[in-house]
Amino acid sequence: MRILSLVALAGVLSAGLSTAALAGTQSTLLSSGNFENRCDRNGGLLELIDEGAVCHAAGVSVACSFESIRADCRWDGRRLLVVDRLLGLPDAEALAGNGNGGPVKKKGGGGFQNPNLPLKSK
């Protein structure tokens, strides 16, 4: 019985740690007015706080602080579709900058560069 309760406790602790590790952040160009409109369009409930605003929508709460048209946002859990709808998608440089070998934005324009692609265009 004691071993079973220790195993159950370990399972609960590891689940809590994995949930904490899933917190997300994003800085983006977004005004407070646009954030409020997007929250409303996605069926969210907007809560104003001292640092900015929190949108509670589709089971996730996204909290943002605003400075002019710049927003620093955070949420707990996985990045869900509603987070993308509220904040927009992160840019390619942000995705490639985390060391996952993703596509890198070209310096001179659109498209992407990935040196491991087997195709060559001339």
Interval 42-98: pLDDT, tens: 999 999 999 899 999 988 999 999 998 899 999 998 888 999 999 988 765 555 544
Q: What is the pLDDT of residues 13-58, one digit of tens each?
A: 444 444 445 789 999 999 999 999 999 999 999 999 998 999 999 8
What is the reported pLDDT for 15? 46
Rg of the chain over all Cα atoms, to the nearest angstrom: 20
Higher pLDDT pick, 28 / 113: 28
What is the reported pTM?
Answer: 0.59
Give the domain ranges of the chain.
22-95
| Tokens coding 101 | 């070998």
CATH for the stretch 22-95? 3.30.310
Beta strands in the chain (DSSP E): 24-29, 45-49, 52-57, 60-67, 70-75, 104-105, 112-113
